Amino acid sequence: MILHTPRKRPEPWQMQHSKLRHPWLVPLLAIDWAFEWIAFVLSRWSFLEVLEYLSSFSILVAVIFYFSESGDRLKQKHYQAWQVINTAQGKGGSGGRIEALQELNQDGVPLVGIDVSGAFLQGVRLPRARNSDFQAADFTNANLHSGNFRESNLNRANFQDADLGEADLCSANLTGAVLDGATLDAADLGNSDLGKVKWRKIKSVKGANIRQVRNAPEGFIQWATQHGAVTTESQSDCR
């Protein structure tokens, strides 16, 4: 007989079984493990070369394992992101929060109650950040175009040179926020609180909705209107 290079000895069943996270996969794993042992024992004989095709079954089992545990991997990823954010809470700098926030936001995870007070988040992109707490957060030069900050706490947040074009700031708390150099074209500021906001160096407000803004600084409404801001109904109820 023509001898072939022996297969690698399969792992013991206890070791294979310990890797499982879903009991319903035990039968599939047992079948695959049994075929591996048959192929290992008989691999020296060329007439059993057909057993090589059993590798396709192993691939199938591997695919099933991958998709069955995909939900667990996603949960682990989100847990690690929240851990980064919570560990850095109350501290300056980024602390890895930019990547963590973007990851959660991209996966559609609600950021309700999140606190990144005092964080430096330059360049962060958060198109879905609704009803969140970003008090004193630093968004300097951040790309927040089309961001959803509806009803968010943005008290004393720094938006210097940030892009807030088409952002939803409806009913947001912007008291004391810094808007120097910020672009607010077509942003919805309806019913937002603008008390003590730093606005005189805003870059652009063309098409921004300033309907029923609250506590607007003296001169802001007139200036914004002269520079293209409008007073229209918000796309959805904004109270």
> In sequence order, what are the residues at sequence separation of 6 or more whose Cβ sits closer than 8 angstroms to the Cβ of residue 239?
171, 191
* 116-125, 175-184, 229-238: least confidently modelled range: 229-238
* pLDDT, tens digit (0-9, with 9 covering 90-100), for 31-84: 777 777 776 666 655 544 555 555 555 666 666 665 666 667 888 889 999 999
How confident is the model at residue 13, as a pLDDT? Answer: 74
Residue 118 has what pLDDT? 77
Between these two residues, 25 and 137, which has the higher pLDDT value? 137
Give every CB contact of residue 103 below 8 A, 6+ residues apart in sequence. Answer: 77, 78, 81
CB-CB contact of 137 with 159 (8 Å): no
As given in the structure block, the two tokens for residue 23 are: 């009991």
Strand partners, 153: 133, 173
**Res. 178 pLDDT band, cuts 50 70 90:** very high
Start-to-end C-alpha separation, the chain: 84
> Per 3-state DSSP, what percentage of the chain is helix, strand, and coil (rounded to 5)?
35, 10, 55
Dihedral pair phi/psi, residue 231, rounded to 5°? -125, 90
pLDDT of 204 over the 80 cut: yes
pLDDT computed for residue 48 by the predictor: 46
- Nearest residue to 17 via CA among 8, 27, 9: 27
b/e string for 63-99 if b means 16 or more Cβ within 10 A? Answer: eebeeeeeeeeeeeeeeebeebbeebeeeeebbebbe
196 within 8 A of 174, measured Cβ to Cβ: no
The tens digit of pLDDT for each residue in 81-109 reads: 999 988 888 787 888 889 998 898 888 88
The tokens for 15 are 């070791």
Distance set, CA 195 to CA 19, 173, 214, 218, 225 (Å): 57, 9, 7, 10, 18
Listed range (10-19, 157-166, 190-199) with the worst mean pLDDT: 10-19
Concatenated DSSP letters for 6-24? PPPPPPPHHHHHHT-S-GG
Separation CA 106–CA 118 (nearest Å): 23
Which segments of 22-131 does DSSP mark as H helices, in order?
26-42, 55-68, 70-87, 97-106
- How far is C-alpha 216 from the geometric centre of its chain's CA atoms? 33
Confidence category of residue 1, pLDDT binned at 50, 70, 90: very low
